Amino acid sequence: MTQARRIEYNWIRGVETLEEYEPGGYHPIMVGDMLNGRYYIADKLGFGGYSTVWLAHDTYLKQYVALKVNIESSLPREAKVLRPLSTPLAPSSSGHTGFDSTPSLLDKFDVQGPNAVGMDGQVGIA
Is position 44 annotated in a ligand binding site?
Answer: no
Q: What are phi and psi of 50, to 5 degrees?
A: -125, 5
Q: What separation in angstroms does the CA of 49 have from each of 58, 86, 103, 113? A: 25, 24, 19, 19
User: Is 18 in a helix, a strand, or coil?
Assistant: helix
Known binding-site positions for ATP: 68
Known binding-site positions: 68
